[in-house]
Amino acid sequence: MEPLRGGSIINNIPPEVEKLLSEYPEKRSLVEWCFRWLYDMPEVSVILSGTSAIEQLKDNLRVFAVSQPNVMSEEDMELIHTIQKIYESKANIACTECKYCMPCPQGLDIPNLFKLYNQYQLFNKPMNDSLIYQRSRMVCADQCINCGHCKRHCPQQLEIPDLMKIVHRELMRH
């Protein structure tokens, strides 16, 4: 389910990934590589992917018409791992959304603020203060008073108050 993360993986492909795909001998779209990686696994029997246009549905049907397990070569898997590393390098806050930091005395939704920030970094989507409020209905990160409640409970040992300053600064830039 959500093999393309709601389309966000393919809507803003990093230039490094585009370059890798264009230089790779086997020419496939990123969508096809994502699906191919999934159906390569024998334990995967169903892949749920939504579409928003008939062209996407036709492309999915074309890709899945030839799907079968164990079709990826070692080189193909290395390509996928390189692409994965590129995407992961753009998400900077290692929050697992465990919510042990919650509730925040200031009403901050810390995991969602980190998620929003990571999505911004990963997919390079400019966001401004009003968009943060509209989409997430949360208090902005600059409301953190550095009380340390969250930090004491974070199993990842994240410096949450310091990260809140970064989150606010970066999300307000655009």
pLDDT band for 137, please (50, 70, 90 cuts): low
What is the domain range of residue 70? 5-89
Looking at residues 93-112, what average pLDDT do you find? Answer: 92
CB 108 within 8 A of CB 116: no
Last residue of a domain, one of 57, 89, 121: 89
Domain assignment present for 119: yes
Residue 15, burial from CB neighbour count under 10 angstroms (0-12, 13-18, 19+): exposed
The structure tokens 């390569």 sit at: 40
Instruction: Verify that 14 and 74 share a domain, yes or no.
Output: yes
Tokens matching residue 13: 């492909």
CA angle 60, 80, 28 (to 5 degrees): 40
Q: Which residues contact 13 (CB under 8 A, 6 or more apart)?
A: 30
Domain boundary, last residue among 59, 89, 119: 89
Q: Report residue 59's pLDDT band, with 50, 70 and 90 as the boundaries.
A: very high
